[in-house]
Structure 1
């Protein structure tokens, strides 16, 4: 009989968290499991589900217009119905809002199956909640069968909280590279901006958010632009978009910087870029670094808390610069643009994060 697996996540508009949920689902579906994703935030505007992995079942809990203290309990009873119907062998909670609800429903269901939490950022960075919500988060972690942390920094932050025995905390890399990723990266793209110039371009991909610190990248690019012909593309959308557009205008970079918004498939752009940059203040892991390496792209990343230094092995597979230091970033970009990079070591490193390899490690925690 096929194993049954549920992932609880607030929304599929959750950036890297949603991507990893979908990557894990894709791999487990290929292995013959029955996989269901349950979206716990009924108020979210989720993307079109037609592009999801074949065979994946997606359920969205109904919208609830109630006080935010009451909402998790109502959601938990709604979720309980699906737990009883599906009878999962394992449940994975992703992000605090979904984890609280899933933990409550799992307990109401007599703790049937294993309940595992996936921790994606250092918990000290994500507990900006009121005391009641923090208490509910703490209770979920204390009761969990296990927690999967996606980097050493994330695991260490959780150990320091001492919410659950250290032996229940498992550090497992993100399952980044799937068959569908490789298919998407091979697609052709037609874009007048790409064809308007033969100058090399630098790319970053991610939510336009203060955490991602694209402002430092734009300031660095102004210094790069003063020394060489180059362009910059910032793929993504988010609350910092107006601020970043103003910064581009103030630095007189409008003709060489593109902000095309979010893309369903940014990988053909990544494939054509000369350099990939991650400028984050902190990261849980840094999935897009792996994606860039898999396409043989030179990578420059901030040496932030989280996964970048680990993925790049402290500079062996890409350059690292101090968080927020736009001058150091500019120097690293210029070096990357000037240097002939052998792509093969980068591609080999990326394969350590294939969904097939990582799903096996997840399975030992989820189903054993």
Structure 2
């Protein structure tokens, strides 16, 4: 089959990594894969064997913002038409991220039944969280217009339900497909040396952003009174980082909380940690939870809208906490003292090939 992925650039984000992982998996399975990027931004290596095109908008006219979506849809149509004339029609098209979805929804060069819009997060949290009144209503209407009667892939059922319920959308088809993971690659990276190996510590890996609720994490950690240090691995604004450091001071835990910043390979640190903690208000899926389990490290997570409850099932569900610091503290203590058994068989379902096959099966819908 011929498969097309479209995305608004490839900076170092989770959705971008998912797209490249899927593209590589489908190529491995013998399919022809094209990747069209709407910006000349790429922080990841492009897998070999993939047709990669950049469709950049160079318009500099004063009213370019007003006409951007239709103009860019026309640009994308032109490239798609040329590609299909040269190598045949695409059997499946996957649009990724909302800016891309707005553009793709205006395209006329592809059979609509072949297009699937991939939802990587909880839209109401991302797009409505700080809006009220008319501004909120207008944003809801714009999003509804993009996804109404479309084919939807959600990284979690919660992401699909949020889109349907919060934006009053009737989808044509919808399916939950969890994110893919390069299990062998993660294990290889996790085997690299770790300066903290041999010591007990807790870890949180993720960008320093208010939605991750580090304030809840710090308060819960203080309540546990555990002797293990807490490692915060991730980067955020200077203002937010200083706010967290001030809170750690207030809670009397500043000497035990270590801000490590961004790390290109966090897996050795995850592997040697006692527990990985996620304290978010919402997660599209929660990639770091699966990555931690692959590394053999148990996890504690708030049972927030998104993927945590999908990932932490069976005996792993002991690590799910309510959305407050008291419950989170209790679960941290519980999992530290009684870590659940992580079953390898369950993790295999997150592999690249099984996930790629689920996406490819959409050609039969």
TM normalised by structure 1 equals: 0.83
Pick one of 51, 54, 59 that aligns with 2:53. 59
Following superposition of structure 1 onto structure 2, how do residues 126-275 of structure 1 map, counting pairs within 5 Å?
A: 126-128=126-128, 134-142=140-148, 144=150, 146-160=151-165, 161-165=167-171, 168-186=173-191, 188-191=192-195, 194=196, 198-224=198-224, 226=225, 228-239=226-237, 240-275=240-275
Shift of 1:341: 4.0
Shift of 1:302: 0.1
Note if 1:68 corresponds to 2:65: yes
Root-mean-square deviation (Å): 2.8
Shift of 1:148: 0.8
Question: How many residues align structurally?
Answer: 348
Between the aligned partners of 2:350 and 2:258, the Cα distance in structure 1 is: 30
CA, structure 1 residues 354+235, in 2 after alignment: closer, same or farther (shift >3 Å)?
same
CA, structure 1 residues 163+335, in 2 after alignment: closer, same or farther (shift >3 Å)?
closer
**Residues 114, 367 of structure 1: 8 Å contact kept:** no
**Residues 23, 355 of structure 1: 8 Å contact kept:** yes
Shift of 1:80: 2.0
Shift of 1:301: 0.6
Shift of 1:215: 1.9
CA, structure 1 residues 355+335, in 2 after alignment: closer, same or farther (shift >3 Å)?
same
2:74 alignment counterpart: 77
Shift of 1:230: 0.6
**Residues 194, 269 of structure 2: 8 Å contact kept:** no
Q: Which runs of 5+ in 2 are unaligned?
A: 85-89
Between the aligned partners of 1:60 and 1:218, the Cα distance in structure 2 is: 42
Between the aligned partners of 1:307 and 1:115, the Cα distance in structure 2 is: 24
Between the aligned partners of 2:322 and 2:66, the Cα distance in structure 1 is: 40
CA, structure 1 residues 243+61, in 2 after alignment: closer, same or farther (shift >3 Å)?
farther
Between the aligned partners of 1:57 and 1:254, the Cα distance in structure 2 is: 49
Q: Which runs of 5+ in 1 are unaligned?
A: none
